[in-house]
Structures are given as C-alpha cells and as structure tokens.
Structure 1
Amino acid sequence: MSRSISRRALGGAAVGTAAAAALGTTTPALAQERPFRAAPGRHSPRPNVLFILGDDLGWADLSSYGSPHIRTPHLDRLARQGLRFTDAYSGSATCSPTRFSLYTGRFPGRTKGGLAEPIADRSVGLEPTHPTLASLLRDAGYTTALIGKWHCGYLPDYSPTRSGWDEFFGNFGGALEYYSKLGLGGEYDLYEGDAAYKDLRYYTRILTERASEYVTRDHDRPFLLNLNFTTPHWPWIADGDEAESAEIVRRIKAGDRSALWHQDGGSIEKYKEMVEDLDRSVGRVLAALRRAGRERDTLVFFGSDNGGERFSHNWPLAGNKGSLLEGGIRVPSILCWPARIDGGQVSDLPVYSPDWTATLLDLAGARPHPAYPLDGTSLAPYLLRGEEPGERDLFWRVRGERALRRGDWKYYRGKSGRDQLFHLSADVREQADRAPYEKERLAELRAAWERTDAGLLPYGS
C-alpha cells in the first residue's frame, strides 16, 4: 500500500477532524483533509522561501494538530491551503543542534558546534567556512535574510552574516527577556547585522514587523527568509506583561542566573496566550505576503525546532524537549506552495529537518557542496511528482540517548541504557516495548544506528 494513502495518513486527517469538533468553527475544513497526491505537470518560477520556526512548540499545540484549548486559525488556514505532515521531526531534541541540521542539511554531530546541546557559551558555533542553506541559495541567485533567533554561535566569530545570510536582525543566544532583550548572562541581545539595535517593545511584535516589511520589498530575485520566532520559549511573558518583565529584569540585574528560566512562573493559560499570539503574528506576515502578490509563488514552511516544554500539549506523545521519545522530536510541520501543491492535504511520510535543506536546494536549482554531503533526502520528487523516497533511516543522537526510525519501527535507548523497540503506527505513545519479541529487527536497527554514529564526531571532541 502507498504510504500516501495508508491508514496512518487517514488517522492524521482524523486528528484534524477531532480538533475541528473540539473548537467549533475554527478548523472545520480540516475534516475534509485528504491523503497527499502530487500534481505533476505544473510549472512555476523558482519559489521564494519563507521558512518559519516556532521555539519549543509541541506537536499538538496547534488546533489543527489536536490541541483541545489553543486556537490557531491562521496556521490552520495555512494547513488548509497546503500540506500538513503528521510524522515530521526536528533534527535534534534541543534548539541549536536542530538549527545546525537545518542550516547545513547534515547531522549535528558532523560539526563541533553541533555537539553542544544547546550552545551556551562563545567557544563554538557554526563555522563560517561551512556551506549552509543560505550560502548555497545565495550562490544560486537568491537574496537571503534571517530574522529572529540564531543560536548557532556568538560574535565576534559566528553570525548569520558570516554564514550566507545577506541580512540579519535578531538575537544570537538561546533565550531573551521579551521586553528588555536581556539574555541568559544579562547581556543585551538584539542586533541588526553585527551591531546592537535598541528596541524595547515586545519581541514578537518587532520580528513580525521586520518580516512583514521584508516580504513586501521590491525584490528583483527570489528570496530566502528564515523567520525564527522565540515564542513560546520561556520566559512565559505575553504582550502586555510589563510588570512580570520588570521583575525578571530586576532579578537578572541582581545576578540571578536562573531568572530567565522562569521556573517559578508561567501557566497553561499563559502558554496558550503566547501560542495564539504566535499564530496571529504568522498570520500578519502571511497577509503581507498576499498584499505583495507573492503568495502563489512562495513556498511557506512552518514548524518547530524541537518538541514542547512543560506547558506544551504533546498528547498522545511521550516525552518532551530534550528527549528522543516522540514528544521531544516530533513537531508540527506545514508546507504551502499554491503554485505547485494542492491544499487540504495530509501526509504521514516520516521527514525531518535535514530533508528540508535538501528539498529547498533541489527546488531552487542549487547544488550541495561536494565536500559536505547532505544527510537529508530531497522531498522534491515526492512533492512534485508523487515519488516516495525508498526505505531510509531517520537518525538522532543526543547525550545519553539514541534513536533511529525505519518505516513504522523505532529503535530507542534512553538514559536507562536499555534498548527498546516500538511500532509507531500501533503505539505512537511508545509504551509497548517489542524488543523481546523482535530481536532480529532490534539488532538490525541498533547496528544501523551504530554505523551512522561511527562517522560522527564523538562528544568531548
């Protein structure tokens, strides 16, 4: 049976139906989602690329993915106009390794900076000599920009403008206070290019304005815009929470290194407010894209850098950010390109961050650097002609955990050191360990994981 019409794909559509029922009129069109079918024979110019990431957004935090209490009408509309993936993954379980995997198209463990989980100091970063999605697209004639969170190294050695992006506006670190722009070490962390930029308004508003301006410019070439929101990453501060912001800033300035982590703050309701604000912000950028007349010929992707944190709604997945259980790496992923892909579709094809790098290069007519072979697989043949990738492995490695997915089977070893095997289509919650009954399969997947791992840098290198 073709994966595109498998039972799991239909199950994915059922998630949208359940979400629509729970939310009344918010997402009724998802009830008509149909399994993905390519529409071959269409032609269009090379697409603009608007690649949007939320930060620590869980797999089921959107109403189109089954959230019972968060309403995301703008992202639901994007899903109705495009293709929603039910089995999409991040390249790692934390922020900067996933960004390395997206920007390079390679496993994080290929580079020293990718071994940090995540980057927390100035000693490592994405080496400017390494080809990136941006540098390769720029070489192919694209104009490139990154707006929002970088988290792949700090000045003076590392920066988006040193790694292929023509423009950068955003923050270098892993987190910042939304009003003051103070980072984990108390440093100011809002930059335009490599120079500090003063703006003390709510950060998500600023990024939304900048991105909206960028997509409406009079571009004479196709563009790549990486739009990396920090929402809904901690601290749990929504637009208007200036008193909470002031208290966190007071603690930071008093030397409290844990203030930004906000372990004593937040709530499910505050998290809901932040996700719904992210949805509105994406909606404003997409509206600007429509006003500019670029909606049809722009490939828009929306996803998350890893699984959700403590206020996230990950059900029915187990685990969350930092873990290689499904809740730590399975993420909402929506792709919309009206010129080439019909809307209202759902796919259960397993995909992950390095695949999007390979796909975008393919669609743009750009070639990977021969000295830096990609670990991802281009999905262009699948998206444009319906040609499914052959059997392949999705590989993950973090300190203390390992995982590999092949088809519906997932090999997992957590911090207990015990090898486990799960059949995801029957047990997406990863509760029924099949290792005792599938010893040959377990050994095969474990060996495959170890072959890949042997080609990566060891931790501590």
Structure 2
Amino acid sequence: MSSYENKLSRRAFTGAVGVAAAATAAGLGAAPAQAAGTPSAGPAEREFRASRGRPSRRPNILFILGDDLGWADLSAYGSPHIRTPNLDRLARQGVRFTDAYSGSATCSPTRFSLYTGRYPARTRGGLAEPIADRSVGLEPTHPTLASLLKASGYATALIGKWHAGYLPDHSPTKSGWDEFFGNFGGALEYYSKLGPGGEYDLYEGDAEYKDLRYYTRIITERASEYVSRDHRGRPWLLNLNFTTPHWPWIADGDTEQSAEIVRRIRAGDGRALWHQDGGSVEKYKEMVEDLDRSVGEVLKALKRSGQEEHTVVVFSSDNGGERFSCNWPLSGNKASLQEGGIRVPNIVRWPARLDGGQVSRVPVFSPDWTATLLEVAGARPHPAYPLDGVSLAGYLLRGEKAVERDLFWRVRGERALRRGNWKYYRGKSGRDQLFDLAGDIREQADKATVEPARLAELRAAWEAVDAGLLPYPA
C-alpha cells in the first residue's frame, strides 16, 4: 500500500451515504477519498475527503498558469517572505496538492502537455525546450483540450502566454480556442511588448493589438471581463496564462527599468530580456505578490458574475522556479528534472463538488488535468490521440483509489521517472540515481547501490516509454 492510498474517514463516509444515490444518478457519484499528509509548511491541514456529492451541471473551467513560479513561492506552500492571500484562500477553499508536477521543465513543452494531455515528445513541436523560433509549433490538426471541449459545446478562450508556435501556421485560434488575447512567444518586455528580437508581441486573435500598459494589468482586465460575460448558457473554458513572474524583472511601475531594456533590445542585444544583470529577491517578491493580486481580481469578478459555484478553478505553474525563486527544500530549478525544476504549486477548487481545506499527496502532473477536465465536462479524448495523463475525477469526486502509475519526464540530457515515492533520475553527468522521496525530498541520499534491482526496474520502465516517443533532431 502506498503512502497516498485511499483511506475512509468516518466523517466523510457518513456524509457521503446520504447523497450517493442522487449523485450516482447524475453520473457524478460521491464517496470518501484519501487521507493525505503534507510537508510541514502551509495552512492547517485536514484529512482529504470526497466531494460534497451534489449533482452538478457541466462546469465552467478556469485554468490559471503562473510562469516560472517555484514550488515554495506561495505562502500556502511555505514561503517565508512572500505573501499570497488570494491563492492561499483558493487553497483553503479547495484541494492543495503537495506532490504536483509540470509536464516538463521549461515553458513550451509543459504547455504542449497541458494543451494535448500527452507527453511533449509525442509531437515535433514539443521537442523544442522551449520553442524559440518559427519553425515548429502545435499542429492545428492535433486535438487539444480546447478543441475537444469546443466540439462538446463549450466556449473557449486563451488569454496570456501561448508559447506553442507562431503565426502564420500556429495559434490558439487554429487549435480550438474561439478567442485569443496575448503573446505568442516565451517572454516579452512587460510595457513595450517587445520580444527578444525586437518584434511586437501582443495580439487579439491573429492581429496585433496596441496597448503599452503593464502586461499583467492588461490580461487581468481581459480575463475579468471574460468570466463576467454572458455566455448565453454555454459552459466555458478559459486558459489564463500569466507571464508573471518570468523575467525580465519588471514590476508594475518600473518604467525606467523598462525603458533601459527596450533600449538594449533595439540596439540589437538579443539577451536583454534575460535581464541577467537585474532583479533581486525583493523584486521577485513584488512580482509574485502582483500575480496573487491579479488572480484575486479575476476570482472576484467570477464571484460577482454568480458563476463561482459551478466553475472549476485550477492553478499551477508551468515549471519550477528560476534565479530568485524559493524552491527549498527541493534541489534544482527550471530546466532540470530534479524536483525543483518540475514540482510546482497546484490547487483545484470547485465549490459545487469539492469540500475546501483539503491537502493531497497524490502525485499528479500537467497531462492529468487535461484528462480530468475532459471527464468532468462530459467530453472524450480523440481515439487516435490517446492521453498520457489520467483523470483525477474518480479520486476527487467519487472517492475512488488514486490511480498508481509512473510519471515520466524527458529533456535533453536528463531523464526521470517517479513510481510511488521512488524516483529514478539521470542528469547531465550520465549517472543513474535513485531517490526515496518519502524521506528525501531534497534528492541527496542516492539509493542506487543499495537498491540495484529497483533502479534497473525503473530505468527499464523509463526506456520503454521513451521508445515510443519522437527522437530529438540531431
């Protein structure tokens, strides 16, 4: 029995019995769910319970993605100096996952895994880590969460960072989103909207849109308007992809810093946006707290609209944190398959179906949310493009045992696989390592020599998955 296997609590069981018949009749059965522990940091924790069990209409879906936000950058996850009251409140109102992962270690491959529900290396565009030119992208013929939901009657929109290809061949509006407002590339200067090569990168649909205000303010307004809109009875999906707190390290009001970076971009400095001579822990704190305020504004607009009860809200990050992020006690950061590069904050709230104040230690990763959201929306994957994620709906809503399976990652020069609490990892040194995350979250006690059979088993499992993926181009 794994450490995160289901266990019934008496309170959950007695609460579920009275509603089981009605919920089952609606196809949304309820029962108690797992007990779950958590690392020491964070708010008061209670045993994980099943959903409230009330039958529900098809929910709206609001998926909020932070950019390069580290696992411990929220106060709900133990940050000692960053205060995130809105995201902490979201966690108290729903389920906070302690062992959640991104689909990859950098921006665009994780987005591929979320948009498609599949390993990034299932598609040519997903091999770019991340996409930095116009040669590849998410092919419009590939099913996405948006296209599948749209086919089942959802209105769909993506606001913010797309990072899955460029015009003219790739865009959200070619891949299932009815509406797009945001940037195509991996980074932009927050005021001028200039990308690394000096190109302007703010679009409405496939046309440039001029607005030189601070980017986070703009997309927060757009998202607030979208969730407040009358969708004429249609459920909706909104992917809200912030660039915050991704470099450059420019907070709202830093116009002089913005002007200096713009000057360098226009002078031909292709690395100006990396801002390697700027930023600080305090500036990063300011940006994360601004992200929190922005999420709070959108959630307030959702509540005012009267749709909060029937909207699934998921919050996550696209990968681990970068230079000024707090990943402690994890090792590694963005671009690495150590825990600090792929373990991320992850919260889900659905007032109509999930009790709040819950914590789960079930290992999950980005493609699982694709599968989960399709199920709760009553949509199905395309049979020719099977998902690599598994739906969490049975676990979250019906009290079923969480599916125990391997989590797989591959980036150039690194490999990793998690099975239960065991993690197989090979970094750029080329040395196979084995860690027991139950007692060694920092990945410092290598068990490879004392558990050779387990190491061989997990290595073989990794290689079996890898054999079915596209190879990296030479």
**What's the TM-score once normalised by structure 2's chain length?**
0.93
SS for the counterpart of 2:309 is coil
- Residues 189-338 of structure 1: matches in 2 within 5 Å? 189-220=201-232, 221-338=234-351
**Residue type matched to 2:69 in 1?**
L
Inter-CA distance 5–271: structure 2 relative to 1 (3 Å threshold): farther
Q: Distance in 2 between matches of 1:242 and 1:234?
A: 15
What is the RMSD computed on CA atoms of the aligned residues?
1.3
**Residue type matched to 1:73 in 2?**
P
**What's the CA shift string for 1:382-414, capped at 9, x where partnerless?**
010121233210000000000000000000000
Deviation at 1:15, TM superposition (A): 1.5
**What's the CA shift string for 1:67-89, capped at 9, x where partnerless?**
00000000000001010000000
2:145 counterpart of 1:133: yes
Q: Is the 8 A contact 1:40 1:385 kept in 2?
A: no
Which stretch shows the higher mean deviation, 68-77 or 40-49?
40-49
Deviation at 1:184, TM superposition (A): 1.1
Candidates 127, 132, 155, aligned match of 1:143 = 155
Candidates 454, 460, 465, aligned match of 1:447 = 460
SS for the counterpart of 1:34 is coil
1:122 matched residue in structure 2 = 134
**What's the CA shift string for 1:397-444, capped at 9, x where partnerless?**
000000000000000000000000000010000000000000110000
Moved over 3 A (4+): 4-9
SS for the counterpart of 1:278 is helix
1:368 matched residue in structure 2 = 381
2:38 matched residue in structure 1 = 11
Q: Distance in 1 between matches of 2:344 and 2:235?
A: 28
Where does structure 2 lack aligned partners over 5 or more consecutive residues? 8-33
SS for the counterpart of 1:11 is coil
SS for the counterpart of 1:208 is helix
**What's the CA shift string for 1:54-113, capped at 9, x where partnerless?**
000000000000000000000000001010000000000000000000000000000000
2:391 counterpart of 1:378: yes
Deviation at 1:9, TM superposition (A): 3.4
**What's the CA shift string for 1:316-342, capped at 9, x where partnerless?**
000000000000000000000000000
Q: Is the 8 A contact 1:9 1:86 kept in 2?
A: no
2:448 matched residue in structure 1 = 435
Identical residues among aligned pairs (%): 81
SS for the counterpart of 2:359 is strand
Where does structure 1 lack aligned partners over 5 or more consecutive residues? 17-29
SS for the counterpart of 1:263 is coil
Q: Is the 8 A contact 1:4 1:36 kept in 2?
A: no
SS for the counterpart of 1:168 is strand
Q: Is the 8 A contact 1:4 1:37 kept in 2?
A: no
2:361 counterpart of 1:348: yes
**Residue type matched to 1:345 in 2?**
Q
Candidates 114, 120, 141, aligned match of 1:108 = 120
**Residue type matched to 2:263 in 1?**
R
Which stretch shows the higher mean deviation, 120-129 or 1-10?
1-10
Deviation at 1:40, TM superposition (A): 5.7
Q: Is the 8 A contact 1:5 1:35 kept in 2?
A: no
Q: Is the 8 A contact 1:82 1:342 kept in 2?
A: yes
Q: Is the 8 A contact 1:104 1:131 kept in 2?
A: yes
Deviation at 1:39, TM superposition (A): 2.6
2:423 matched residue in structure 1 = 410
1:175 matched residue in structure 2 = 187
Q: Is the 8 A contact 2:5 2:402 kept in 1?
A: no
**What's the TM-score once normalised by structure 1's chain length?**
0.95
Q: Distance in 2 between matches of 1:317 and 1:4?
A: 24
Q: Is the 8 A contact 1:4 1:35 kept in 2?
A: no
SS for the counterpart of 1:225 is strand
**Residue type matched to 2:325 in 1?**
S
**Residue type matched to 1:68 in 2?**
P
SS for the counterpart of 2:450 is coil
**Residue type matched to 2:399 in 1?**
G
- Residues 23-172 of structure 1: matches in 2 within 5 Å? 30-31=43-44, 33-39=45-51, 41-172=53-184
2:452 counterpart of 1:426: no
Q: Distance in 2 between matches of 1:141 and 1:11?
A: 38
